[in-house]
Chain A
Amino acid sequence: MTADETEQKQLLDLLLAVAQRDREAFRQLYQRVSARMFGLCYKLAGQKELAEEALQDAFVQIWHNAGEYHEDRGAPLGWMITIARYRTLDLIRSRRPLKSAGDDMLNQVADGRWGPLEARLQQAGATALTGCLEQLSDTQRDTILLSYYRGLTHDELAHALNSPIGTVKSWIRRGLMALKRCLER
């Protein structure tokens, strides 16, 4: 068993105990994974307060829904991270103005929060997906990674990358499908 498999097995045991309403297991689970989950929430939200709220909601949700986890959902850590990520995106979007092309957003683009993704993230992301990201064009890869790590919508990506929205949509769509073909190989 690799170190990762051992860890996933331990997380699975904790999650099963949480499904049985074991509070101590829940506390241990939080200690084991909260920093990794919070790292992503923080990266996505770009601010501590919202990231904390998302993490808090995510764990409340994990407590209630632990019984719904099953192996088709992927590894336990991935399942929990997915919950935290969706929750962060929900919070970000509910707090942004509905009309997305407001001044606030243009300022945020200008201050660099949505600037090009750090090279480190790009590289590490590529390794994680078994080299498949490298097979995409630069724009396909950037739009996918900016959506994943920064939670940018089509509108926001079009602003950030100074490209028409239709073009951005097609980069993402084609990029994702190319990624899938590669991952399935």
Chain B
Amino acid sequence: MKRTPERIESLAAEYVLGSLKGRARQRFERWMMQSVRVRQEVWFWEERLGQLVQAVPSVTPDPSVWIEIEQCLWPSPKAKAHQKVSWLWPGWSFLATAAALVLAVILIFPALDDEAPRTQLTGAVVQSDVADPLWLVSEAAERNQLRLRSVAVVEAERGKDYELWVVPVEGNPLSLGVMAVGDVYEVTLSEEARRLLSSSRTLAISLEPRGGSSTGAPTGPILHVTRLYEM
């Protein structure tokens, strides 16, 4: 579909309103990742339509909501023992739902057998105040390879590295290694990594001590979370 200014204008409005859904919504999100102009159009509507909230009466949420938020972000060791595995990787349940939605859509179709061509994933890691994507992500399905081409990303601070992770729908992230900046980073996915990625379609990048996390889980701040799309 051609990206005419009129179409961007109209789709952005419907995206913000929420009436754009399914594949059209996914395609538009891809446009957003690729173009600052599209993102600005979305922000225009987010701000303007956001004013409609003034008309909605405030409702004070139960105190339990704040407790849940704190538990989710900073789980106390005692509570942790009783929680599901997904809580160990706090804060990403919302992404998991989005991924589950994609999965639900796929399940309508007959299950793909091993002979069928696999879908190829693609995406971009963006930062809102940088016009170009930081990394472009693509996948070569036959060789189980994921490629990240650095575009606008800058070197990590001294003594630090960027580490790439697959974020599964549930459970702990799986490291895909440390990425050098200014180059193409290629990683061969293990069967497990491929399986987790094809269901969650979610990658994350964290800032780690040079050489990467030594614990097997992210230790530094999560800088980016991105969802991949079928090509």
| Chain A residues close to B by CB (< 8 Å) | 21, 23, 27, 30, 34-36, 38-40, 42-43, 51-52, 55-57, 59-61, 63-64, 68-70, 72-75, 77-79, 81-82, 85-87, 89-91, 93-94, 98, 120-121, 123-125, 127-129, 144-145, 147-149, 151-154, 157, 172-173, 176-177, 179-180, 183
Contact = CB atoms under 8 A, between A and B. Distances in A.
A73 B115 CA distance: 46
A75 B54 CA distance: 13
Contacts of A73: 43, 46-47, 128
Nearest to B59: A39
Interface stretch (B65-73, B134-142, B175-183): B65-73
Nearest to A31: B66
Contacts, number: 160
A121 B64 CA distance: 29
Contacts of A144: 17
Interface string B60-80: 111011101100111000000
Interface residues of B, number: 53
18 contacts: A36-B58, A38-B61, A52-B62, A52-B64, A59-B69, A60-B72, A60-B94, A68-B129, A74-B43, A75-B47, A82-B16, A94-B104, A121-B55, A124-B55, A128-B55, A153-B21, A172-B19, A177-B10
B90 interface: yes
Contacts of A27: 66
Contact of A78 (B50, B64, B128, B129): B50
Interface string B13-25: 1101111010000
B97 A38 contact: no
B56 A128 contact: no
B55 A120 contact: yes
Contact of B94 (A81, A82, A90): A90
A128 B94 contact: no
B86 interface: no
A149 B50 CA distance: 11
Contacts of A42: 59
B129 A70 contact: yes
Contact of A34 (B43, B46, B65): B65
A43 B57 CA distance: 9
B217 interface: no
A123 B54 CA distance: 11
Contacts of A55: 61, 65
B51 A78 contact: yes
Contacts of A43: 56
A57 B61 contact: no
A90 B97 CA distance: 8
Nearest to B98: A90
B169 to A, nearest CB: 13
A61 B18 contact: no
Given A74-B46, A74-B47, A173 B53 contact: no
A78 B47 contact: yes
B57 A39 contact: yes
B9 interface: yes
B71 to A, nearest CB: 10
B48 interface: yes
Contacts of A145: 52
A90 B100 CA distance: 11
Contacts of A51: 61
A64 B222 contact: yes
A75 B95 CA distance: 25
A95 to B, nearest CB: 9
Interface string B117-133: 00000000001110000
